[in-house]
Amino acid sequence: MCGIAGLVSLSESDEQRRDAVARMCGAMQHRGPDDHGEISRGPATLGMRRLAIIDPAGGHQPMTSACGRYHLIFNGCIYNHRALRSELTAGGYPFRTHCDTEVLLAAFARWGEACLRRLRGMFAFAVWDEQEQSLFLARDAFGIKPLYYHHDAAANRLAFASELNALLAAGVVSGRIDPHAVAEYLAYLAVPAPHTIYEGVSGLGPGEYARLDAGRLEVKRWWRFLAADASPICRTAEEFHRELCARLDDAVQAHRIADVPVGAFLSGGLDSSGIAALMARAGASRLKTFSLVFEEEAYSEARPARQAAEALGTEHHETVLTGRQVAADLNRLLHAFDQPTGDGINTYYVSQAARTGGVKVALSGLGSDELFGGYPSFRDLPHLARWLPIWRRLPAAVQTATSRRLARGGVRSRKLADFLTHARDLHGLCSLQRRVFSTGLGYSLLHPDLRTGLTAPPHHPRLDDLPAELAGADSFQTISAWELRTYMADVLLRDSDVMSMAHSLELRVPFIDGPFISWLWAQPARFKSGGGQAKSALADALRGLLPDEILRRKKRGFTLPFAVWMRRELKPFLDDTFSPAVIARTGLLDVSAVQAYWRNFLVHRDDREWSRVWSLAILIAFLNRRTAP
């Protein structure tokens, strides 16, 4: 795991490029405290910070191919590097290290962009082709590892980095906030790729690659959901169960490869407990597991986590997280963000605990909800989609009156109003499902001047391309793809990367595994959904590895006691953040509307609103962090 950065420019001298890349790498020291490197060839300078996981002694970057033509910097891990190494060795490549970085370099040297489909892993990498004087950038299929870039065609310049904070440090990006991105953040708790919070800065999307040649940048998608998979489709539930068990074992085994200690997050839920159980079965001796617990008993999952740890015989570590600790760390947390986010604080603290507890790699249960129907959307949206045609036949006056009445209600009523007003089919519903603020409420929070000139469509931007990619998909596949491509990629994976790397911890997600997802995607929905019982297929696959109480436990999202802390320890920060002067300083938000929303939270005590209030507070603090003198 690393932080990578580069600058290709005909506008700067070699010394200027080196200085810019050095600043970017310096801003990412937390991503790679073990090693660093830099290389300049022609108009290109590449740099990196390394967290040494595989072949710590031999994996120095940037790495140059045996022929001298290609120069690589790489962030991530290639889990099938041993198999690829054997194939490439047979083809005559003279390997000098045992590192997966050199395997990736050799694969690119032999197969070019076609190597991407051969890679099993998480990655973001850059290759400078000295012969063609071109730059190649690529990102893994699901967006586990990030890559941001700024392309100035007029100046014939492209800068890129693993983090936005690093890209800003290069001195070639203005750092101006994009007002459209603020509106998108209010909608989705994140700025959807390829946009970022900054003007002129883009994110390479999941499953995309880019090529810079003679100043021209071309971005293409190399992975799609409906790509053909050679795996046979299971015909019976028994066959599916057997194959699922084997595939889960294979995914976890692949994600365990490392030359450093590997641990696991353990919340006590089915997902993390399942990963820990599969690791233990794969031979992890005295596995270290880590969980967060709280003084507020209603939120703490200490008991089920301890139960799972005891059953698996792990060396279990608990970290008590309090509102006092979060309040004391707010400045540090805000500094870690490279975009505003209302999520990820749990990952920040459990990653800190894991790194302090002696592991350099940790496995997470992220992703099973998206694959096994763990969200209510898998149940609710198909039903609503079937009713939409009937709703559309009602008189327009009835539709308008009903939607307006719903829009004045609580969280669920406002969500339903958006569905009924804007959705035409299942894709439309999916594009609205992850809105944090309803269309009307989100719009009202923006500064009046911004509302005047802003055209913010109600739907998620992926509605422009995802339906075509999913032509022929069933409803389960459709919802799964939307969850993976939006909330998973833009919020969960992004925040997991930022918060784990803040503590120099490599976080791996075995459920978000290319071969596993490709196989599972093709299987009948009735097997994946467990006959309508969320994640029962996964629970059946883990039977015998975990106590029945955990397997039968009702799904419960991992929630920090923020609704409590925001009225106690975090209230001084929130009172200050929602003060008129601080809101006004952003220049992008409506002071009265934002204040009213904060007061409403305090008066009505609707704990379902906490994440929206907190997300809004983080946005204000982030915007003022960028505008502070």
Q: What angle do CA 487, 492, 493 make, to 5 degrees?
A: 110
Residue with tokens 């159980």: 277
Rounded CA separation 352/332 (Å): 13
- Give the pair of three-digit tokens for residue 224: 């799609």
Over 90: is that where the pLDDT of 605 sits?
no
Look at residue 137 and tell me if it is in a domain: yes
* Adjacent-strand bridge partners of 38: 47
Name 623's Cβ contacts closer than 8 Å, sequence gap at least 6.
177, 182, 340, 585, 586, 588, 589
Last residue of a domain, one of 168, 197, 221: 221
* Same domain assignment for residues 300 and 215: no
8 Å CB contact between 414 and 406: yes
Q: In this structure, which amino acid lies at residue 185?
A: Y
pLDDT value of position 284: 67
Catalytic member of 2, 77, 115, 234? 2
Look at residue 527 and tell me if it is in a domain: yes
> For residue 112, what is the DSSP state?
G
- Give the pair of three-digit tokens for residue 408: 């004045």
* Percent of residues in the chain assigned helix, strand, coil, to nearest 5: 50, 15, 35
**377-380 — which CB contacts under 8 Å span 24+ positions?**
377/430, 377/433, 377/479, 377/483, 378/476, 378/479, 378/480, 378/529, 378/534, 379/532, 379/534
Q: Annotated catalytic, 2? A: yes
Last residue of a domain, one of 480, 500, 535: 480
* Same domain assignment for residues 436 and 528: no
Look at residue 105 and tell me if it is in a domain: yes
8 Å CB contact between 38 and 52: no
Rounded CA separation 273/441 (Å): 38
* Same domain assignment for residues 15 and 95: yes
Look at residue 503 and tell me if it is in a domain: yes
Residue % of the chain over a pLDDT of 90 = 82
Give the C-alpha distances (Å, rounded to integers) separating 562 from 266, 494, 525, 565, 594: 20, 21, 36, 5, 19
373-408, pLDDT tens digit by residue? 999 999 999 999 999 999 999 999 999 999 999 988
* Same domain assignment for residues 85 and 11: yes
Mean pLDDT confidence for 476-481 = 96
pLDDT value of position 228: 52
* Same domain assignment for residues 414 and 461: yes
Please state the domain count of the chain. 4
Question: In residues, how long is the chain?
Answer: 629
Rounded CA separation 454/440 (Å): 14
pLDDT band at 441 (very low <50, low <70, confident <90, very high): confident
Q: How many CA atoms lie within 13 A of 389 on its CB side?
A: 3
**Least confident range of 368-372, 526-530, 553-557:** 553-557
* Same domain assignment for residues 97 and 165: yes
Look at residue 584 and tell me if it is in a domain: yes
Look at residue 485 and tell me if it is in a domain: no
- Give the pair of three-digit tokens for residue 251: 């995914």
In CATH, what number is assigned to the domain containing residue 361? 3.40.50.620
59-71, pLDDT tens digit by residue? 999 999 999 999 9
Range 566-585 burial, b when 16+ CB lie within 10 A, else e:
bbebbeebbeebbeeebbeb
230-249, pLDDT tens digit by residue? 678 999 999 999 999 999 99
Q: In this structure, which amino acid lies at residue 67?
A: C
* Same domain assignment for residues 318 and 395: no
Look at residue 337 and tell me if it is in a domain: yes
* Same domain assignment for residues 78 and 129: yes
Rounded CA separation 518/577 (Å): 45
Last residue of a domain, one of 529, 552, 575: 552
241-288, pLDDT tens digit by residue? 999 999 999 999 999 999 999 999 999 889 999 999 999 998 867 899
302-317, pLDDT tens digit by residue? 889 999 999 999 999 9
pLDDT band at 532 (very low <50, low <70, confident <90, very high): low
Instruction: Print the domain residue range for 591.
Output: 562-627
Rounded CA separation 225/437 (Å): 28
In CATH, what number is assigned to the domain containing residue 58? 3.60.20.10
pLDDT band at 551 (very low <50, low <70, confident <90, very high): confident
* Same domain assignment for residues 19 and 66: yes
* Same domain assignment for residues 274 and 127: no
Rounded CA separation 423/431 (Å): 8
Rounded CA separation 409/127 (Å): 52
Q: How many CA atoms lie within 13 A of 580 on its CB side?
A: 1
Residue with tokens 């790498």: 25
In Å, how far from its chain's centre is CA 202?
15
- Give the pair of three-digit tokens for residue 146: 């990030």
8 Å CB contact between 147 and 162: yes
* Same domain assignment for residues 50 and 146: yes
Question: What's the 3-state SS for 387-425?
Answer: HHHHHHCCCHHHHHHHHHHHHCCCHHHHHHHHHHHHCCC
Peptide bond into 194 cis (omega under 30): yes
Q: Nearest CA to 315 among 350, 346, 280, 281?
A: 280
Handedness of CA 364, 367, 371, 372 (dihedral sign): positive
For residues 512, 562, 288 and 304, what is the CA-based torsion angle, rounded to 10 degrees?
A: -90
Over 90: is that where the pLDDT of 558 sits?
no
Mean pLDDT confidence for 17-25 = 97
pLDDT band at 628 (very low <50, low <70, confident <90, very high): very low
* Same domain assignment for residues 327 and 446: no
Rounded CA separation 81/74 (Å): 14
Look at residue 514 and tell me if it is in a domain: yes
Cα-flanking dihedrals φ and ψ of residue 588, to 5°? -125, -5
Q: How many CA atoms lie within 13 A of 109 on its CB side?
A: 27
Rounded CA separation 158/503 (Å): 29
Q: In this structure, which amino acid lies at residue 569?
A: E
Rounded CA separation 291/353 (Å): 8
**107-116 — which CB contacts under 8 Å span 24+ positions?**
108/70, 108/72, 108/136, 109/65, 109/66, 109/67, 109/69, 109/70, 113/138, 113/209, 113/222, 116/209, 116/222, 116/223
Mean pLDDT confidence for 209-214 = 96
